[in-house]
């Protein structure tokens, strides 16, 4: 697979909680790529959590950092890149994402809500109506996510390892198309 991809990066996109970080680590192990997570790089560079960046600065500042990090990451090859769910909204980010193969992990909102019920690290969901917020974000983002090279629809019972295996099995068919 490493050979087949010829060092091309894989970018994982999709809503928060779909498993970009979790599945990304497995994909990297499987094909001998390095794993990077744009959120993790931002947190290290800023010396602040994502919650702190949103509250002490602003979402706009976070989005600027996110675009800067993506631009830097794109200079490297053989990477699995887990992105933050909102990265797709800035059109110029697509210039970077399309340097590699873009994979959309798509999970029903009800499952995301269950997964993130006890999680307080996603500032956009720290409000009285996380379900409504997820619905409106998905509505704004869906047409952007659908620009991905590969759309992976995930069921409630599929494990991260099964999802990683399915992605790797599907990649040869999209490489042929390109
Ligand atoms: N296929 C899966 N099945 C069950 N739980 C999952 C699965 N993928 C991810 N999770 C869990 O969902 C939560 C969010 O996963 P994460 O990888 O952080 O998503 P993202 O990076 O897309 O926001 C974590 O607690 C993770 O363990
Ligand atoms: O969807 C979003 O706008 C966000 C998703 C988060 O990353 P994950 O998608 O990894 O949860 C993180 O970048 C930030 O909280 C904003
Ligand atoms: Mg993540």
Is the pLDDT at 3 greater than 80, yes or no? no
Distance CA(177)–CA(108), nearest Å, equals: 28
Share of the chain above pLDDT 90, in %: 93
pLDDT digits (tens, 9 = 90+) for 61-85: 999 999 999 999 999 999 999 999 9
pLDDT digits (tens, 9 = 90+) for 108-143: 999 999 999 999 999 999 999 999 999 999 999 999
Given this model, what pLDDT does residue 90 score? 98
DSSP string, 82-124: EPPTTGGGSHHHHHHHTTSEEEEEE--HHHHHHHTTT----GG
Q: Is 102 annotated as a binding residue?
A: no
Is the pLDDT at 1 greater than 70, yes or no? no
Ligand 1 neighbour 141 (Cβ under 6 A): no
Q: Whose CA is nearest to atom 15 of ligand 2?
A: 122
Find where tokens 């960046």 sit.
53
Q: How far is CA 51 from CA 54, 81, 87, 103, 119, in A?
A: 5, 21, 17, 26, 12
In this prediction, residue 47 has a pLDDT band, given cuts at 50, 70 and 90, of very high
Q: DSSP H helical segments within the chain, as ranges?
A: 2-5, 20-31, 38-46, 50-56, 59-73, 91-97, 109-115, 130-145, 160-177
Is the pLDDT at 176 greater than 90, yes or no? no
Minimum-distance ligand 2 atom for the alpha carbon of 86 = 3
Ligand 2 neighbour 16 (Cβ under 6 A): yes
Mean pLDDT, the chain, rounded, equals 96
Is the pLDDT at 87 greater than 70, yes or no? yes
Backbone torsions φ then ψ of 155, nearest 5 degrees: -95, 170
Given this model, what pLDDT does residue 178 score? 64
Given this model, what pLDDT does residue 2 score? 63
From 12, 16, 103, the mutation candidate for ligand 2 (largest count of ligand atoms within 8 A of CB) is 16
Is the pLDDT at 10 greater than 80, yes or no? yes
């Amino acid at each position: 697979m490493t050979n087949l991809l010829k060092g091309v990066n894989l970018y994982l996109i999709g809503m928060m909680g779909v498993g970009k970080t979790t599945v990304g680590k497995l994909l990297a192990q499987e094909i001998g790529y390095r794993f990077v997570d744009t959120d993790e790089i931002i947190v290290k560079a800023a010396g602040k959590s994502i919650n702190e960046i949103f509250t002490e600065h602003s979402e706009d500042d976070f989005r600027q950092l996110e675009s800067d990090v993506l631009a830097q990451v794109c200079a490297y090859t053989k990477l699995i890149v887990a992105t933050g769910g909102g990265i797709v909204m800035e059109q110029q980010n697509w210039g970077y994402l399309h340097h590699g193969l873009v994979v959309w992990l798509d999970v029903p909102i009800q499952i995301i809500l269950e997964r993130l019920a006890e999680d307080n690290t996603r500032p956009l969901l720290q409000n009285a109506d996380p379900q409504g917020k997820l619905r409106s974000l998905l509505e704004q983002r869906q047409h952007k996510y659908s620009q991905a090279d590969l759309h992976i629809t995930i069921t409630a019972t599929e494990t991260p390892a099964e999802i990683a295996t399915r992605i790797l099995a599907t990649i040869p068919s999209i490489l042929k198309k390109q």
